[in-house]
């Protein structure tokens, strides 16, 4: 998808591009695929497997920068005390995804829900966002999180988040009683259907 912008004022910036008189700007209508899921769903387990099956995609895991971002912020961003910084962290990832999506499709693994993304300042950078959710039974989630040393309060919060996500009726991929490779194949198939190949932005001289 492209939108043509004509007869713009000199040096008018549009999403990082500077338009000069006598030029037409073809702007990519950026698209993003988001795979969400509350803790214990299996996102971390399958992200590498999905990336291997989608060589034409940028597959991003929102958790990979938590540690260095926490160092920069001077606090652990995984803790509730850092909640005021979460919108900035979310926005950083959306801006990164927008930049990469000009060159190839982007699949973002994250714990965010649609309302959180809609509130982000950089939501405007995307024409469309496609959503899917990884889910599992409460029993499986509880067992997995106990194995990761989650305390009872954190486990119950994850279960509540999962219940909220189910109510949104997003496209759902279950990780119950299936091998990670099968889950990865289902995620890759969904992402391939959800996003067509990216089109690079380009500026074409006007007459």
Domains and CATH numbers, the chain: 30-205 (3.40.50.300)
Q: What local confidence, expressed as pLDDT, does residue 154 receive?
A: 84
Please check whether residue 4 is in contact with residue 202, taking contact to mean a CB–CB distance below 8 angstroms.
no
Q: Report helix, strand or coil for 25.
A: strand
Please check whether residue 94 is in contact with residue 117, taking contact to mean a CB–CB distance below 8 angstroms.
yes
Q: What local confidence, expressed as pLDDT, does residue 13 receive?
A: 38
Low-confidence ranges of the chain (pLDDT < 70): 1-29, 196-207
pTM of the model: 0.79
154-177 burial code (b ≥16 CB/10 A, e <16)? ebeebbebbeebeeeebeebbbee
């Amino acid at each position: 998808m492209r939108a043509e912008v004509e007869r713009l004022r000199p040096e008018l910036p549009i999403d990082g591009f500077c338009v000069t008189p006598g030029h037409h700007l073809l702007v990519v209508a950026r698209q993003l695929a988001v795979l969400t899921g509350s803790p214990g769903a299996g996102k971390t387990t399958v992200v590498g497997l999905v990336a291997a099956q989608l060589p034409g995609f940028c597959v991003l895991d929102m958790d990979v920068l938590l540690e260095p971002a926490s160092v920069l912020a001077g606090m652990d961003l995984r803790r509730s005390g850092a909640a005021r910084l979460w919108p900035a962290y979310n926005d950083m990832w959306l801006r990164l995804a927008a930049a990469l999506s000009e060159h190839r499709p982007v699949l973002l693994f994250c714990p965010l829900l649609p309302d959180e993304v809609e509130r982000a300042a950089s939501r405007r950078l995307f024409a469309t966002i496609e959503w899917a959710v990884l889910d599992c039974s409460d029993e499986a989630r509880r067992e997995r999180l106990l194995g990761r040393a989650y305390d009872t309060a954190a486990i119950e919060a994850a279960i509540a988040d999962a219940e909220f996500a189910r109510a949104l009726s997003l496209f759902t991929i279950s990780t119950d009683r299936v091998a990670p490779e099968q889950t990865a194949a289902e995620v890759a198939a969904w992402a391939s259907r959800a996003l067509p190949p990216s089109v690079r932005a380009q500026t074409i001289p006007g007459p």
